[in-house]
């Protein structure tokens, strides 16, 4: 983070020095270049922001923050403080909002920074990694690109990401997540992106959004944060694409569209699309990326060519599955809007080896391949995994834990994946948890050979896996899936250790 004075902090957060504690003249020399909201990781001279959560109030930790070296405390007005009066305390109405304002302020201090914001039901983190790889190839230096770390994509994580910006950064690639209406509107307004993507609209977090329409409304909040010359990136293969295009065209918002499914009927043609898609035995793809010449913003002469002329380039993608071809197209569209060339895109996409926990293929033995897709799950990402598994011309086992946060749709969504696994000829389905019993039932109802089995705990599941894999003589591919709460990585570790 860039260095700030206490005066700048007060201006950025609309805060005031708390009466009865150290004064501005006493604090004039104090600056800080790091913010902490967690006393377990606080460092010397940090600004400590006391956030209030549903189950915890960090105002109880102010003394601990001081003991660990915090030089300034940001607290909520009206809080009762039990700390020495020589402490430097800035008070604001709401520390969560102040954190956001501070993040926005830091971003405004970075001259020439270009910002990309990514939302959607699935593939946000993957698109973020792909775009960061392209921008790194473009700028020749990873230090010029700041990307959301891990999954810091909510109303706390996004401002904390902005606070990590430094003067050398040329690009910020930000993931915006949401489980309720209004969350993206809030984080996108802080980020003020130059280019924004809604990657897809799928039945995820339905508990918070109520319906698929609710998901679309929530994700489309990102468009309103774009400046009039900011670029919206729309996936033509996704639900609600036509609604988004109509909405954006009405506002005369610059638009780039992409599609993996070139044969789909739709009202507009894609600006970027993939052809000659091939995948190898690890599911990795090669394809031709086709781009309308008018979208090659980095090449000035391209602007004069006919609007529908095309340029193309061969792409090698290490991330398995067709859904990652979509993600690569999304990242490429954003990269073009940020001034990258086709060569930058080609080079960047091929450097990314994997995104941890997302379709990570491992050849465990001569006959066993395991695909670890345990980071998270909803019916759309399970279906994407099933499509990948179905490509393997051998015995195929899908192991699924429960999918969470689906509210009243939980039963139906688990049934959907059971039916889909059966339709796609997945030979065996093992499920564990409470909800995923529905997947097993649906699979067996649709199949003659009762290839699905449900287990009430992981111990039973492990025994069944041992018996099943122990009896295999020829090649078998296993895909392991489940929501974060299901912690199915334990099963991946078990298989790798045992076989």
Q: Please tell me whether residue 16 adopts helix, strand or coil conformation.
A: strand
**Position among 46, 91, 373, 413 found at the interface with ligand ATP (CB under 6 A):** 373
DSSP-derived 3-state class of residue 462: helix
Contacting ligand ATP within 464-483 (CB under 6 A): none
Q: Which does 376 bind (CB under 5 to 8 A by kind): Mg ion, ligand ATP, none?
A: ligand ATP
Residue 151 or 284: the one with the smaller Cβ distance to Mg ion is 151
- Residue 151 engages Mg ion in binding (rule: CB under 5 A): yes
What is the bridge-based pairing of β-strands 272-279 and 285-292?
Answer: antiparallel
Q: Which is nearer to ligand ATP, 87 or 431 (CB)?
A: 431
Helix (H, G, I), strand (E, B) or coil at 475: coil
Using CB under 6 A as the binding rule, whether residue 285 contacts ligand ATP is answered as no
Cα angle, residue 383 at apex, residues 382 and 386 outer, rounded to 5°: 90
Q: How far apart are CA 422 and CA 442, in angstroms?
A: 9
From the CA atom positions of the chain, what is the Rg in Å? 25
48: Cα within 13 Å, side-chain hemisphere: 29
126 touches ligand ATP by CB under 6 A: yes
Exactly one of 381, 415, 431, 444 binds ligand ATP (CB under 6 A); that residue is 381
Nearer Cβ to Mg ion (39/125): 125
Q: How far is the CB of 360 from ligand ATP (least distance, A)?
A: 9
Distances (CA, A) of 209 to 57, 113, 118, 124, 214: 27, 33, 18, 18, 5
State the binding string over 183-222 for Mg ion (x if CB under 5 A, else -). ----------------------------------------
Tell me: does residue 358 bind Mg ion (CB under 5 A): no
CA distance linking residue 446 with residue 420, whole number of Å: 10
**Residue 326, binding choice from ligand ATP, Mg ion, none, Cβ under 5 to 8 Å by partner class:** ligand ATP
405 near ligand ATP, rule: CB under 6 A: no
| Site for ligand ATP contains 375 (CB under 6 A) | yes
Sequence length of the chain is: 499
By a kind-dependent CB cut-off of 5 to 8 A, residue 200 interacts, out of Mg ion, ligand ATP, none, with ligand ATP
Site size with ligand ATP, rule: CB under 6 A: 20
Question: Residue 326, by phi and psi: left (phi above 0), alpha (psi -120 to 50) or beta?
Answer: alpha
| CB 458 within 8 Å of CB 481 | no
What residue ranges bind ligand ATP (CB under 6 A)?
122-126, 151, 177, 199-200, 323, 326-327, 358-359, 373, 375-376, 380-381, 384
């Amino acid at each position: 983070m860039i260095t700030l004075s206490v005066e700048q902090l007060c201006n950025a957060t609309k805060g005031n020095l708390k009466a009865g504690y150290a004064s501005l003249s006493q604090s004039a020399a104090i600056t800080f270049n790091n913010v902490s909201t967690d006393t377990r990781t606080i460092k010397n001279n940090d600004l400590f922001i006391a956030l209030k959560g549903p189950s915890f109030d960090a105002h109880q930790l102010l003394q601990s923050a001081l003991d660990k070296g915090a030089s300034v405390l940001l607290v909520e007005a009206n809080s009762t403080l039990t700390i020495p009066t020589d402490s430097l305390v800035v008070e604001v109405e709401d520390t969560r909002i102040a954190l956001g304002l501070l993040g926005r302020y830091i971003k405004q201090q970075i001259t020439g920074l270009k910002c990309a914001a990514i939302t959607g039901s699935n593939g946000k983190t993957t698109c973020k990694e792909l775009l960061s790889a392209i921008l790194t190839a473009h700028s020749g230096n990873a230090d010029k690109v700041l990307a959301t770390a891990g999954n810091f994509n909510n109303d706390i994580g996004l401002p904390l990401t902005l606070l990590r910006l430094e003067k050398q950064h040329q690009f910020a690639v930000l993931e915006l997540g949401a489980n309720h209406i209004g969350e993206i509107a809030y984080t996108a307004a802080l980020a003020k992106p130059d280019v924004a993507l809604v990657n897809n609209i799928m039945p995820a977090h339905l508990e918070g959004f109520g319906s698929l329409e609710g998901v679309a409304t929530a994700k489309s909040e990102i468009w309103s944060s774009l400046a009039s010359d900011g670029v919206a990136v729309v996936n033509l293969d996704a639900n609600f694409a036509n609604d988004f295009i109509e909405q954006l065209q009405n506002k005369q918002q610059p638009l780039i569209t992409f599609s993996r499914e070139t044969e789909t009927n739709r009202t507009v043609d894609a600006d970027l699309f993939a052809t000659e898609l091939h995948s190898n035995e690890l599911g990795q793809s090669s394809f031709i990326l086709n781009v309308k010449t008018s979208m090659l913003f980095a090449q000035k002469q391209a602007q004069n060519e006919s609007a529908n002329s095309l340029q193309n380039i061969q792409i090698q993608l290490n991330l398995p599955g067709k859904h990652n071809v979509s993600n690569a197209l999304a990242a490429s569209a954003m990269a073009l809007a940020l001034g990258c060339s086709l060569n930058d895109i080609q080079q960047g996409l091929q450097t990314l080896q994997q995104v941890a926990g997302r379709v990570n293929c491992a050849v465990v033995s001569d006959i066993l391949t395991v695909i670890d897709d345990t980071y998270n799950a909803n019916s759309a990402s399970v279906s994407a995994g099933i499509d990948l598994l179905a490509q393997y011309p051998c015995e195929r086992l899908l192991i699924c834990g429960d999918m969470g946060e689906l509210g009243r749709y939980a039963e139906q969504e688990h049934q959907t994946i059971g039916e889909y696994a059966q339709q796609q000829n997945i030979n065996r389905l093992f499920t564990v948890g409470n909800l995923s019993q529905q997947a097993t039932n649906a699979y067996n109802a649709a199949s003659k050979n009762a290839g699905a089995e449900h287990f009430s705990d992981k111990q039973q599941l492990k025994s069944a896996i041992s018996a099943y894999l122990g009896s295999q003589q020829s090649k078998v591919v296993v895909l392991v899936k489940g929501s974060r709460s299901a912690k199915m990585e334990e099963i991946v570790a078990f298989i790798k250790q045992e076989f």
